[in-house]
A and B are shown apart, each in its own frame.
Chain A
Amino acid sequence: MSRSITLGQYLPGNSLVHRLSPRVKIAVLIILLILLFSLQNFIALAVMFALALMLLAASRIPFRYFIKGLRPILFIVLFALIIYVFFTKGGIVLLRIGSFTIESAGLRQGLFVIARLLVLIILSLLVTLTTTPLSLTHGMGYYLKPLNKVGLPTEEIAMVMAIALRFIPTLMEESQRLMRAQVSRGADFETGSIFRRARNLIPLIVPLFISAFRRADDLALAMEARGYRLGAKRTRLHEDKITILDWSALALVIGLLAFALYFKL
């Protein structure tokens, strides 16, 4: 259970990727994803893949750790491949199993889609692995700001998101502690039918809700005590400055996108 938490969890570091401003990181990610989905041939995709791996290397995230976190996603990737391979028809028949056939167009399409999926996952994970959830939400809040004009409370939405992210690990830890406490009272969370197992979760869910509500109360009080008011203008302790590094990264990816679109790669 605790292993799956590591998926995309922020890893502190001081690499070039870490130092990019979160706002720029989000923009770069979006541009690279647009680029990724406009690519039509395998060679260009391979270049993208290599680029993603280079970025991963530049982030100095241990490769083995990265792969470990990827494991739960491999299932989805494999599933996508199987669907494409069996259900896309065209080209020459490669293999015949009963009434099912594997045809070359299906294989080609399947490989293309999973390669694209892998690049997408690597790039997205790279962002969450090198950015704290808090600065990530600030970054997103920046892009939401224009919606303020149509009456959306974007500051508050960003705050809600930041708090939710902040408390995920806390609640995870809490649920594990509770689970162990109830297990030492003979509780069983792992066997029985689905219906039974759901019922067995009551001793876990009730205390978890109670503590979550108490935490929310405490947090609201603490925030008010420090002067948090809805709609008030807030300044930030860590200013998000755009440096020359950010500008060069942006210029680079925009250049890449323009290049790819111009030559219809």
Chain B
Amino acid sequence: MFIQTEKLTHIYMPGTPFAAEALNDINFTLAKGQVVLLIGPSGSGKSTLVQHLNGLLKPTSGRVYFDGRPVGGSKVELLKLRRRIGLVFQMPEEQFFSETVYDEIAFAPRNLGLADRELDLRVDKALARVGLEPDRFRHRHPFHLSSGQKRLIALAAVLSLEPEVLILDEPTAGLDPVGRRRLYALLADLNKKEKITLLIATHHYDEAAALADQVLVLYHGKMVMDGTRSKIFSNREALEKLGLALPPVTEIMHDLADSGLPLNKDIYNFEEARTEINKLKGSGTNES
């Protein structure tokens, strides 16, 4: 298993009257090359869980494994781990501190001790990977970009580590619909073309659901559901009890199918939905 947690429990400020259990006995595995969606209402522990996977937070008890080895150990070991697992925080553009896009993106590889020539290559490659022209953006001021562009630069600033796994915490928070669509198209490409394993933690998964292979559901610090996308989203009642809804497209397909139409409910984007519904039209006219 690529990433695995074993009885992971995290308590904030243990031993004080402020102690709060954020994660309770979390067990899950995640296979290489997959897109995994981590969903749950706000405050369910998604961000806390995600920060354990690259060793930023240490479990109060239990363990995290990456590529067969326990996460943790010396500083050098952790740096190696963070090179392989890129973590994009919520609103990552709030971490900007440089005066040029170049410096912002070069920050991570520079911390790895790479030479200047290698840095240039990394920055250009990272910009190209997020679909921004290196020559146009390299020397711009990161604070003067649009919010969508800022988010892409923030993503490039993590991609410059060339990680095998990309973990994103609410990647589309605060983006407009076009920005959201663009970001998810990009993430889908990273997974399909470059085989980057993705873990997306979000409570706004209308678009993200279209990419997912596996879905994890966190509720009050407990992993309450874990399975393939079709398994999790076929269980509409259970999700609604947790205050979660189906993605809108899927919900429409469920409603239509429940009203008696012979439709496949396991659908997550408009293209598939259109094809599926058009099939119905075809069969309907044939019968009459």
Residue numbers of A with Cβ under 8 A of B are 2, 6, 11, 62, 64-65, 68, 177-178, 180-188, 190-191, 202-203, 205-207, 210-211
Verify A68–B16 contact, CB threshold 8 A.
Answer: yes
Cβ contacts under 8 Å, A210 to chain B = 94
Q: With A2-B13, A6-B16, A202-B97 known to touch, is A184 a contact of B75 (CB < 8 Å)?
A: no
CB contact under 8 A between A207 and B95, given known A184-B87, A185-B157:
yes
Q: Cβ of B137 < 8 Å from any Cβ of A?
A: no
B56-A184 in contact (CB<8A): yes
Min CB distance, A2 to chain B, in Å? 7
- List which B47-103 residues lie within 8 A (CB) of chain A: 51, 54, 56-57, 75, 79, 82-83, 86-87, 89, 92, 94-97
In the assembled complex, 7 residue pairs joining A and B whose CB atoms fall closer than 8 Å, in A order, are A6-B16, A6-B18, A177-B89, A181-B89, A184-B54, A184-B82, A185-B108
Docked complex Cα distance between A18 and B79 (Å): 47
Q: How many A-B residue pairs have CB under 8 A?
A: 68
| Interface residue ranges, B against A (CB under 8 Å) | 13, 15-18, 51, 54, 56-57, 75, 79, 82-83, 86-87, 89, 92, 94-97, 107-109, 111-112, 157-158, 161
Q: How far is the CA of A65 from the CA of B51 in the complex (A)?
A: 27
A186:B97 contact, CB within 8 angstroms: no
Query: Are B111's CB and A184's CB within 8 A?
Result: no
**Cβ of B97 and Cβ of A11 under 8 Å apart?**
no
* Complex Cα gap A188–B16 (Å): 29
Q: Do A65 and B16 contact each other (CB < 8 Å), given the known contacts A177-B89, A184-B89, A185-B111?
A: yes
Q: Which single member of A177, A191, A211 contacts B75 (CB below 8 Å)? A: A191
Closest Cβ of chain B to A181, distance in Å, is 4
Per the bound structure, the CA–CA distance linking A187 and B56 in Å amounts to: 12
Q: Does the CB pair A188–B89 fall under 8 Å?
A: no
- Alpha-carbon gap, A188 to B108, bound state (A): 11
